[in-house]
Structure 1
Amino acid sequence: MDSLDRLLAERACERVVIDFVHRLDLGEPASVAELFTEDGSWAWPEGERSVKGRDALRQYFGSRPADRLSRRMMSNVLVTVASPDTATATSYFTTYRVDGHEGGPVPPGSPVQVGSYEDTFRRSPDGGWLLSARVLHLAFAGPTPRPPRP
């Protein structure tokens, strides 16, 4: 790959990383599945759980509680292009989340998750980049607080 092709592949993969959190926090969570290959997987070894396949991913992310308010901060996205059709990435995330949100401001609180993602990407037949695997590692974790009721 020449330098420009490598740079374009890195940027496309970074875009998928950011699009993932925007869809979860600000869009339609079930649409996150469209960022994965048909056989894509999402796993978190600490909980020994995984979801495999676009339909299962759509169902998993679509089952997010309707009253959940969340914001994820992404940083340190490092993409490594291995070939014209494959790449990997590591990124850090911090999740602020409140279940039971009924609107209005939320009292300040600590993040409920701090960790990293290990991603594997494949170029799709149309030339775009998709996640083929995402592994979540929680360096710090905690419960999801509910806002106080008046």
Structure 2
Amino acid sequence: MPAMPASRLEDEAACARLCIDFANHLDARRYERVLGLFTEDAALDRMGNVSQGRAEIARFLAGRPVQTTTRHVCSNIRVSFEGEPEGEAGGVCYVLFFQGADDADGGAPRLSGPPSVVEYHDRFRRTPDGWKIHSRRICMAIRA
């Protein structure tokens, strides 16, 4: 397999970073930063529940329960440019998902059940502000 040009490696790293930033900002409830990862006309499909555009994604984020803590652990991030139009890429990422109920005593949240594994199926687009998520489809891979 021939070596990838440096600019392509930088593009791949930027797209992979979107996966990690999404998980970190979502878990920390930095919702403005989550929104900034998406194109204006992005789609977020959470197992059939589709939010179209940043405004709808913002409504989904605002509706997340405040008494629940989540952790999304991303791995096996794969970004592909083959067969894609210029300035676009595809991607897939495995995500180990943990959810916990906040502890009334202020301690660490208690796990609400066993973790699940989901997959992010992404379409990335280069914008004047850098690479952004144009669409994300979240699919259950292994149910708790």
- Interval containing the TM-score (normalised by the shorter chain): 0.7 to 0.9
What percent of counterpart residues are identical? 31
Q: Which ranges in structure 1 are unaligned for 5 or more consecutive residues?
A: 143-150
Structure 2 residue aligned with 1:110: 114
User: How high is the TM-score relative to the length of structure 2?
Assistant: 0.85
TM-superposed CA distance for 1:69, in Å, is 1.0
Q: Where in structure 2 are there 5+ consecutive unaligned residues?
A: none
C-alpha displacement of 1:55: 1.0
CA RMSD of aligned residues (A): 1.9
Listed one character per residue, the Cα deviations across residues 20-59 of structure 1 (whole Å, up to 9, x for unaligned) are 00001124135312111000001134xx320000111112
Pairing 1:15–2:17 present: yes
Residue 45 of structure 2 is aligned to residue 43 of structure 1: yes
Amino acid at match of 1:91: C
CA distance, structure 1, for counterparts of residue 108 and residue 75 of structure 2: 25
Aligned residues: 137
The runs of at least 4 aligned residues of structure 1 exceeding 3 Å deviation read 99-102, 106-109
Q: Is the 8 A contact 1:77 1:91 kept in 2?
A: yes
What's 1:131 paired with?
133
Which amino acid in structure 2 is aligned with residue 3 of structure 1? Answer: P
Q: Distance in 2 between matches of 1:50 and 1:72?
A: 20
